[in-house]
Amino acid sequence: MKLRDTLQLSFNTVASYRTRSLLIVLAMALGVAAVVVLTALGDGARRYVVGKFSSIGTNLIIVLPGRAETAGGFPGAVLAQTPRDLTLEDARFVGQLLQVKRYAPLNVGVAELAAAGRLREVTVLGSTADLLPIRHMNLAQGSFLAQGAEYSAQIILGAKIAQEFFPQGNVIGQRMRLGDRRFLVSGVLAIQGESMGFNSDELVIIPIDHAQALFNTASLFRILVEARSRSDIESAKEAIRDTLKRRHDGEDDVTVITQDAVLATFDRILRALTLGVAGIAAISLAVAGILVMNVMLVAVSQRTAEIGLLKAIGAPSADIRLLFFAEALWLSLAGAALGFVLGQFGSLLIRLAYPQLPAWPPVWASLAGVTIAFVTGILASLLPAARAAQLDPVKALAGR
């Protein structure tokens, strides 16, 4: 029997048992779709988290005062016990390193902001002009802290603060009082929402010198450093540590963390999660495989007389085995294809429902889903096909 005829004959058989075939195909398709959709969700979550982290800057290195040997604690919390403070001068030395593209010293505090008869407490960031590009922040209007104009009393408002104080717009050039000092509004940040614990919509930014004077401190909260390239991150990290150690009389009293390391950890965790979810979905495919086996076994016993006839008119066992095998092949093929389409459609629905979640099914997951459907379908047909091939023609013809 020619392969083409085998495929055609088995296709006709599958097509003529419409309800039965449809149910199997559906079971397979749901399994494949579950793998595709769930991995799309998992991978979407991973991309979402990684994207959030990346949005705080590229090739970012963060320098904190104090040595945090105990992992897991928030290193900034040991600020009070730090033997030596990080200073603006430290930051300038870091900025001169070859591997460093730009840097921004950072001070954080809380102060009372007042203008136009309104009053509220705000988080104040003191920094320099480079904070904007390093942190990937955008301005909605006006200009950021001017380069080299650290001493001028400018203030940049978060989007929500600007909205609260000046609901009619017309913000630029307004006078505001922050603590006991007066500032001129020079810019408003674009709406960004929360990232890394900071809600940039509800803070204000002033020049670092003013911040140090306002909070009466010479020490820095952090230094944000952007390395020249991804490959420079490690050597920049070493260079920063060396420089600061030298400046701090040989004492290794700063913590240098890289965004890369944090990112890699999240990436790993979420990948593992996606794999786990995909594994659970794959179990449903195995169940579908058992269903295929069950249905094929029933088909063999229903079609016993027909198998006997095929033998009587000269079909060798191998042809009969192939016929049943091909039936399972068609069912798996249809199930896998339908499941793939359903999965892509489901992922599309998720993306439409949650636009911020990039729920694209990974290629490997789609391939794995389709492959597992195929393999289980084929494995499940081996036993029924062998049983059909081994039927005794005399008994089979008698319907026994």
Partner 1 sequence: MGDQEVRALSGINLEIASGEYVSLMGPSGSGKTTLLNVLGLLDRPNSGRYELDGKDVTDLSEVEQARVRREKIGFVFQSFHLVPRLTAAENIELPLMLAGTAPAERKARVDETLLSFDLLDRARHRPAELSGGQRQRVAIARATILRPTILLADEPTGNLDHRIGAEVMALLEGLHHAGATLILVTHDRELGARAHRRIAMRDGEIVADER
Q: Determine if 317 is a binding residue for partner 1 (CB under 8 A).
A: yes
> Cβ distance 373 to 28 under 8 Å?
yes
Which lies closer to partner 1 via its Cβ, residue 324 or residue 340? 324
- In whole angstroms, the minimum distance from the beta carbon of 397 to partner 1 comes to 7
Of 190, 191, 264, 318, the one binding partner 1 by CB under 8 A = 318
Which range in 135-143, 147-155, 272-280, 313-321 contacts partner 1 by CB under 8 A?
Answer: 313-321
Which range in 47-55, 201-209, 235-243, 392-400 contacts partner 1 by CB under 8 A?
Answer: 392-400
Query: What are the φ and ψ backbone dihedral angles of 192, each rounded to 5 degrees?
Result: -130, -20
Q: Determine if 9 is a binding residue for partner 1 (CB under 8 A).
A: yes
Looking at the DSSP bridge assignments, the partners of residue 104 are 224
Query: What are the φ and ψ backbone dihedral angles of 105, each rounded to 5 degrees?
Result: -70, 150
Q: How far apart are CA 3 and CA 323, in angstroms?
A: 9
Q: Determine if 149 is a binding residue for partner 1 (CB under 8 A).
A: no
Q: Determine if 312 is a binding residue for partner 1 (CB under 8 A).
A: yes
Long-range contacts for 22-26 (Cβ within 8 Å, ≥24 apart)? 24/288, 24/291, 24/292, 24/295, 24/331, 24/335, 25/331, 25/334, 25/335, 25/338, 26/335, 26/338
- In whole angstroms, the minimum distance from the beta carbon of 34 to partner 1 comes to 33
Which range in 5-13, 99-107, 349-357, 369-377 contacts partner 1 by CB under 8 A?
Answer: 5-13
- In whole angstroms, the minimum distance from the beta carbon of 2 to partner 1 comes to 5
- In whole angstroms, the minimum distance from the beta carbon of 12 to partner 1 comes to 7
Q: Determine if 2 is a binding residue for partner 1 (CB under 8 A).
A: yes
Q: Determine if 264 is a binding residue for partner 1 (CB under 8 A).
A: no
Of 139, 319, 383, 387, the one binding partner 1 by CB under 8 A = 319
Of 31, 57, 158, 308, the one binding partner 1 by CB under 8 A = 308
Beta strands in 146-262 (DSSP E): 154-157, 175-178, 181-189, 194-195, 198-199, 203-207, 222-227, 254-258
DSSP annotation string for 30-41:
HHHHHHHHHHHH
Which lies closer to partner 1 via its Cβ, residue 167 or residue 316? 316
Of 140, 262, 275, 305, the one binding partner 1 by CB under 8 A = 305
Integer CA distances (angstroms), 177 to 150, 160, 214, in order: 18, 17, 12
Which lies closer to partner 1 via its Cβ, residue 248 or residue 321? 321
Q: Quote the DSSP letter at residue 202.
A: G
Which lies closer to partner 1 via its Cβ, residue 9 or residue 286? 9
Which range in 104-112, 149-157, 311-319, 375-383 contacts partner 1 by CB under 8 A?
Answer: 311-319
Query: What are the φ and ψ backbone dihedral angles of 97, each rounded to 5 degrees?
Result: -65, 145
- In whole angstroms, the minimum distance from the beta carbon of 295 to partner 1 comes to 16
Of 98, 313, 352, 363, the one binding partner 1 by CB under 8 A = 313
Which range in 1-9, 30-38, 260-268, 270-278 contacts partner 1 by CB under 8 A?
Answer: 1-9
What six digits make up the tokens of 177? 């009082």
What six digits make up the tokens of 170? 């017309």
Q: Determine if 314 is a binding residue for partner 1 (CB under 8 A).
A: yes
Looking at the DSSP bridge assignments, the partners of residue 181 are 178
Of 311, 343, 366, 380, the one binding partner 1 by CB under 8 A = 311
Helix (H) or strand (E) holding 315: none
What six digits make up the tokens of 86? 């990080």
Q: How far apart are CA 329 and CA 337, in angstroms?
A: 12
Q: What distance lies between CA 153 and its chain's CA centroid? A: 40
Tell me the per-residue interface mask from 21 to 60 with partner 1, x by CB under 8 A, - otherwise: ----------------------------------------
Integer CA distances (angstroms), 276 to 44, 46, 282, 342, 355, in order: 15, 13, 10, 21, 24
Task: Give the interface size with partner 1 as a residue count (CB under 8 A).
Answer: 24
Q: How far apart are CA 168 and CA 199, in angstroms?
A: 23
Which lies closer to partner 1 via its Cβ, residue 95 or residue 393? 393
Q: How many CB atoms lie within 10 A of CB 125?
A: 23
Q: Is 154 exposed, middle or buried (0-12, 13-18, 19+ CB in 10 A)?
A: buried
Query: Under the rule (CB under 8 A), what is the footprint of partner 1?
Result: 1-2, 5, 9, 12-13, 16, 305-306, 308-319, 393-394, 397
